[in-house]
A and B are shown apart, each in its own frame.
Chain A
């Protein structure tokens, strides 16, 4: 098991009652889906806010970035980047830019 860093947008920080980054324990072969599972398990209030309920697809206006790359369209089973796995970089949950 290892600990990874996940940064959250302001709305979700307030909803979960946390600061910008949270730390999650995941397996040594963690995937995008596993880290989001861990996020929802530790903070159940975030269920449905990053991924849809049920089918668990990413919400359309949420993006997942890490290490300067957009991982939003990667398959849920995609392994986390090595830099995220060793805690050097966070997985960033980002709200799409929007006006109004």
Chain B
């Protein structure tokens, strides 16, 4: 019987939830790495028992943990993330130049084909690569050394590389997104990068249509359509159908086009989901009503999904990596809030049930559909 496994990163550790295909009863294990800030966990596509986790604390810095048995046991692997060459500088909040300084890993993305090959998106923004299951890390330096790199400036959340999308049919093509810097694409396995922000408009920038500086919150891509990417930006939901050369706003009738996560339906490439948040300075749902919004038209036309979600006095946020979608039929969605509630839907988002409450602040949710 197939199984669904949720990998939940929180401010105080990681939790693993498992269920059968019905997704009604869930078993919870954890916390793993209790007390550590677990920004993200991710499983390898071709070996679902190979998991990577990124625990971090202010005290002791970054650790990378690896499991080869689906999260029952873990082994610390390599934690040395050293920028290649002389790191140079990027812009600081006060406009001065600031040395590139590794702080932590935000996102882990194993290769679609090789469980030992894994990428890490880090703060200060850079992409690292491990070909030995996380034991050693090497910077994919051409990204940070992009001609615009010295102009990247952090937002309040830090200069973080938080999204890594890999085309499963051509792993040399990848997209990454960096808060307050933008989106970038490589077609040669990271040897060179292009800015992928054509047509984006951000009113908080001196030049709203600048090449870099757009605060991309999350990207999502259906694996069958690598030229089409969806974006939740710091204001605006957008799509591109030409690999980032030109983006079009598809916020349509959303109650707010501010938000953090965005995901694509696994079986319907034009069905996408977002979680509207009131504004950039009010990170909670409009009117205190937690709603997931679904578009079956690739954006533009949205429907509110509210059944089972709190429709009053909810002032929690859903962070950029805290919405996940499984590959079952019908697909399921999983959403973790900053208030520590984990909601699940086994019917494509039509209805939701809290499967855990009172967890620590939820930072990330990933789901594995295991045959």
B76 in complex: contacting residue of A45, A54, A62, CB < 8 Å: A45
Q: Are B58 and A48 in contact (CB under 8 A)?
A: no
Residues of B near A47 (CB, < 8 A) are 79-80
Does A35 sit at the interface, judged by CB under 8 A? no
B82 in complex: contacting residue of A12, A54, A62, CB < 8 Å: A54
Q: Are B60 and A95 in contact (CB under 8 A)?
A: yes
Q: Are A48 and B61 in contact (CB under 8 A)?
A: yes
Chain B residue total in the interface (Cβ 8 A): 13
A49-B79, A53-B82 known; 8 new pairs, CB 8 Å cut-off, are: A11-B36, A11-B59, A48-B61, A48-B62, A48-B79, A50-B60, A59-B59, A59-B61
CA–CA, A10 and B35, complex, Å: 10
CA–CA, A95 and B36, complex, Å: 13
Smallest Cβ distance from B138 to chain A, in angstroms? 14
Chain A residue total in the interface (Cβ 8 A): 20
Q: Which residue of B lies closest to A94 (CB)?
A: B59
Residues of A near B57 (CB, < 8 A) are 11
Does A87 sit at the interface, judged by CB under 8 A? no
Does B118 sit at the interface, judged by CB under 8 A? no
Query: 8 Å CB contacts to B: which residues of A7-28?
Result: 9-12, 15
CA–CA, A53 and B82, complex, Å: 8
Q: Are B60 and A59 in contact (CB under 8 A)?
A: yes
> What's the A-B contact tally at a CB cutoff of 8 Å?
43
Smallest Cβ distance from A47 to chain B, in angstroms? 7
CA–CA, A48 and B57, complex, Å: 12
Q: Are B59 and A15 in contact (CB under 8 A)?
A: no
Does B63 sit at the interface, judged by CB under 8 A? yes
Interface string of A63-75 (1 = CB under 8 A from B): 0000000000000
B59 in complex: contacting residue of A45, A52, A53, A61, CB < 8 Å: A61
CA–CA, A47 and B63, complex, Å: 10
Residues of A near B59 (CB, < 8 A) are 9, 11, 59, 61-62, 95-96, 98
Residues of B near A48 (CB, < 8 A) are 60-62, 79-80
CA–CA, A9 and B59, complex, Å: 10
CA–CA, A54 and B36, complex, Å: 23
15 A-B contact pairs sorted by A residue (CB < 8 Å):
A11-B59, A11-B60, A15-B76, A47-B79, A48-B61, A49-B60, A53-B79, A53-B80, A53-B82, A59-B59, A59-B61, A61-B59, A62-B60, A95-B60, A98-B58
Residues of A near B62 (CB, < 8 A) are 48
A11-B36, A15-B76, A54-B82 as given contacts; A49 in contact with B58, CB under 8 Å: no
Interface string of B35-74 (1 = CB under 8 A from A): 1100000000000000000000111111100000000000
Query: 8 Å CB contacts to A: which residues of B128-177?
Result: none
